[in-house]
Structure 1
Amino acid sequence: MVDPHVARQGWRRLEPVHAMVYFVPEATEQYAALGLTDWRSGYFASRAAAFGPASPELVIATFYNFSPRLIRRALPAAWGVVSPDKLLAARLDAAGAALRRADIHARPDLEETLALARRAALAACERLPGRPLFAAHAALPWPEDPVLALWHAQTLLREYRGDGHIAVLAAEELSGLDALILHAAAAGDMPVSFLKKTRGWSREEWAAGEDALRSRGLLGDGLTVSERGQALRRRIEERTDELALPAYAALGEEGCERLAVLARGFGRAVVDAGLLTLPA
């Protein structure tokens, strides 16, 4: 048995290695060179490219907390500009260039960290049903370069966990906007204005979403989470942790603890290099 909290630490601490690709200029420049000069088109098309020329409906279903209106502005128009294969290659190039800027390639613990993350990712690949975005990425070839292989491994682990998280949200009858508002109220790690802009929700839609959550007893006055809302969030996170365990169980308790220790240095290197800086 593996403690879900220990497995979660391994995922969270290594997550910056994947997540930075949504913020770094290397990605924006790569997509612009292919003709996708709007950030929305670059983001949605590059992340969805593993599906092939995905429909807006497929992306709405699997990305979850974005306004459908925002997604429809980007897709399917992006596929008339650049093919999914070219976008996948550009995304990989951007990830590698950015991570080298953080000196990930020079870390002496890269090989060990990659071995653990890859083993977990391959275990997840044995459990494809019900994980559509993960499954699409699982079908992609593993890069030979260790830096890119680590990025790919964490991409798989992120999407595996993310698909499970969406399943839990849907089971709790929380829409993408509901989940986003609850996260904003509880975490406070990103400005609400940034979340509204990047997820495409209008001021009116956000306000209506807050009212709906208050009517369910999940929000208090202002943007605060009620006790009932906090209990719901804990239940969601605990269930998400449980659904992610099949990947990390392959490492055993000791392996998960080791990954959590190693991952801290990788995540810190990404942050210290400024790869997660929010756009102005």
Structure 2
Amino acid sequence: MIRNLWRSLEAVHAMIYFAPQAARRYTEAGLDRPGGYFASRAAALGPVPAEVVIATFYNFNPELVRACVPAVWEKVTPARMIELRTEAVEEALRPVLPEDLTEITALARRAAERSAEMPFGRTLFAAHASLPWPEDTLLQLWHAQTLLREFRGDGHLAALLQEGLTGLEALVLHAASGEVSGEALRKTRGWSQEQWAQTAEVLRERGLITAEQALTDAGRELRQRVEDNTDRMNAPAYDVLGDAERQRYVELGAPLGKAVLEAGLLPGRR
């Protein structure tokens, strides 16, 4: 149920990383695609150096991050970046989501505010939780899911660290599951083919993937532990909701995520 709660609204947040409304604004601010991504997601942290982004984003090639950060802060301030992202959210989602979002927003906000009581060890989440709540209901919903996403995400990093996995190793294992294209993960995170192959060999030697880069039984068990631990660390965010409210959350949230997908705001996921 915990994963279903998060997934029901995940598209409502995740679309911002692909929406042309955001890309256009970032380009106008003088940022390329990687720079726009790093600046928009890291802006809540302030004008941080590359090392902070490397640590909190976890699975990107440090060289890709250093090529963008801190140079992005010379082109746009973190405060302005937050404004640009918010403007893009409203432009992208307003035509897609229904007007009446009162009930689902109230539920999501309760969960998000509950998560804000537990910032310990969750740096990127805590930065976003420090931002003021918007007055507009649609933007409140997006902000709530942003907090819930980063709360879960920081817990996921802790689960990966517990298993002794680097960011690149986590990507190779994800690709080995067959759930997502390894080439897409490699390119978007800035890793070379050589780096990917070397890491795959390390994981093969550990008995986690085969020579064909498919998960072994041990690899599947490790990934399941990571997902189970992520869910366990994410669960407290939703403990403020009763069973009936959790069911209602999914009933109301899932159609919103579907609407985002059908509008084409997440490429390749209609």
For the Cα contact (< 8 Å) 1:105–1:147, is it kept in 2? no
Instruction: Report the equivalent of 1:71.
Output: 65
Structure-1 separation of matches of 2:144 and 2:59: 24
TM-score normalised by length of structure 2: 0.97
Give per-residue Cα distances to partners, 1:9-66, cap 9 Å, x unaligned: 0101210000000001000111112221x10110001100000001110010010111
Query: How far apart in 2 are the matches of 1:74 and 1:260?
Result: 38
Tell me the equivalent position of 2:121: 130
- State the superposition RMSD in angstroms: 1.2
Q: Which residue of 2 aligns with 1:22?
A: 17
Q: Which of 39, 43, 49 is matched with 2:37 structurally?
A: 43
Within 5 Å, give how 1:187-266 maps onto structure 2. Answer: 187-189=178-180, 191-266=181-256
Tell me the amino acid that sits aligned with residue 31 of structure 1.
Answer: Y
Q: After superposition, what is the alpha-carbon deviation per residue over 1:91-143, rounded to whole angstroms, capped at 9, x for unaligned?
A: 011011111232x142x4x1111011000000000001101000000000111
Distance (Å, rounded) in 2 between the aligned partners of 1:225 and 1:252 = 37
Distance 2:245 2:123 in 1: 27
Aligned to 1:99: 93
Give the corresponding residue for 1:145. 136
* Contact 1:20 1:270 survives alignment (8 Å): yes
Matched residue type, 1:20 = M
User: d(CA) in 2 for partners of 1:226 and 1:56?
Assistant: 35
Question: 1: distance between equivalents of 2:74 and 2:49?
Answer: 12
Is the deviation greater in 18-27 or in 180-189? Answer: 180-189
In the other structure, the counterpart of 1:120 is: 111
Question: 1:49, 1:258 → 2: CA distance?
Answer: 33
Unaligned runs of at least 5 residues, structure 2:
none
Q: CA deviation at 1:171?
A: 1.1
- Matched residue type, 1:209: T
Q: CA deviation at 1:168?
A: 0.9
When normalised by structure 1's length, the TM-score is 0.94
Q: Show CA shifts across 1:213-269 (max 9, x none).
A: 111111013120000000011111011001001110111222222111211101100
Choose the corresponding residue for 1:54, options 41, 48, 51. 48
Gaps of 5+ in 1: 1-5
Specify the code of the residue in structure 1 equivalent to 2:29: L
The list of structure 1 runs, each at least 4 consecutive aligned residues, that deviate by more than 3 angstroms after superposition, is none
Q: Does the residue aligned with 2:241 lie in a helix, a strand or coil? A: helix
Q: In the alignment, which residue of structure 2 is the partner of 1:167? A: 158
Bigger relative contact order, structure 1 or 2 (CA pairs below 8 A, ≥6 apart): 1
Q: How many residues align?
A: 269
Aligned to 1:3: none
Whole-angstrom CA distance in 1 between matches of 2:59 and 2:244: 35
**CA distance in structure 1 between the partners assigned to 2:182 and 2:235 by the alignment:** 31
Give distance in 2, aligned partners of 1:231 and 1:253. Answer: 29
Distance in 1 between residues matched to 2:253 and 2:190, nearest whole Å: 32
Q: CA deviation at 1:187?
A: 4.0
